[in-house]
Structure 1
């Protein structure tokens, strides 16, 4: 890992923040530790980080708000949320605000580092893909838009990545375990529930073309039919 990999760590708990910072630095990451959301945004603008690791509950500006603001400027920078919250709705909210991954406290440093590496590898995932046809829809992964006729819907980062994988396996089965590990990090029940929510959201956004469906292939995964 090169020293050019810069981590913006936003964590208001001083002892935890210092431990995480020092642990990442021993792996040759360059780490900028912010103690609140406003300082984190300043670091984001000044330091040009490669990955964001954001605590959800922070003073001045919480992690969800910070991520939403950054996503308006940068749709592709990897974002990992750190939080003690663990309900499905909290995870979904994190992804809707632009998060790529969600790590529950307490966590191991090894798990955080594995997830950082996984996100860095995924950054290369077709960020230059332009218009993709899905029936009468046009999907633009880069802009995160889904358009039909004169209507255009803006997708969340997680919705766009999930739909991209579905389009790559159009009319074929997208393996459930594969996509859970690829986009959620683990194929456990908790993450599977979260993915089901996003599948439902995509189905609603694709309902204007009756020839387009996302079907559940029980025991295997999902299939985008068009």
Structure 2
């Protein structure tokens, strides 16, 4: 499975070049010009590294990184930016950046740095396994298993299932789930859609087995 790199860059020529060059190096690459697009990818995909410009449309790059760090995302971040003042570099690292590269840059050096950071980050990850009855969740590998059947999950589905497994037997309101998952940066209908997809993977029949809907209150994992 290829590592996924998300490139946040509003200079379209450079964005296309990075997508092409990183793709040639064996990475899956998604380019974004807006932080909102990158945030959506973080929710749905297993991102190995974020390559972030400081000068973005609508939101400064370091502000975006600071925000996702507060929300619990530990995805490695390399700033790739023309802002080369000492105070800019300090602000980049203080916001949660793992490295800071200024433009113009050498692609081979960028490649070596991002490979080293991805390798180091993977080495620090510890597998988190949650178990309940005949179901287990491998948080790191985004998969669940029921008896001997393995089920692939998206990062978003993994996060939702982990919350349920930590709160078995407790009815969780949609508002609670919204706050835990999106930190209120979302809509209640997003919860309904996400849980419907997760339930379809876990409960192969129409009968509710793991995730039960409690009308007017929320969801119960039992």
Question: Normalised by the size of structure 1, how large is the TM-score?
Answer: 0.51
Q: Following superposition, which runs of at least 4 residues in structure 1 exceed 6 angstroms of deviation? A: 41-45
1:211 & 1:195 partners in 2: Cα distance?
A: 17
Residues 1:153 and 2:156 are matched in the alignment: no
The answer (yes or no) to whether the contact 1:81–1:94 under 8 Å persists in 2 is: no
Matching residue within 193, 196, 217 for 1:197: 193
In the TM superposition, what are the counterparts of 1:52-71 in structure 2 within 5 Å? 55-56=31-32
For the residue of structure 2 that corresponds to 1:186, the secondary structure is: coil
Q: Deviations over 1:11-55 (max 9, x none)?
A: 34239x9xxxxxxxxxxxxxxx9963245669999xxxxxxxx64
Match in the other structure for 2:128: 129
Between structure 1 and structure 2, the one with the greater Rg is 2
Residues 1:108 and 2:59 are matched in the alignment: yes
Aligned length: 157
Match in the other structure for 1:216: 213
For the residue of structure 2 that corresponds to 1:115, the secondary structure is: helix
Gaps of 5+ in 1: 1-7, 18-32, 46-53, 58-79, 85-90, 100-104
Residues 1:37 and 2:19 are matched in the alignment: yes
Residues 1:140 and 2:138 are matched in the alignment: yes
Gaps of 5+ in 2: 48-55, 76-124
The answer (yes or no) to whether the contact 2:44–2:154 under 8 Å persists in 1 is: yes
Match in the other structure for 2:37: 83
1:178 & 1:42 partners in 2: Cα distance?
A: 43
1:174 & 1:218 partners in 2: Cα distance?
A: 12
Question: Normalised by the size of structure 2, how large is the TM-score?
Answer: 0.52
Match in the other structure for 1:51: none
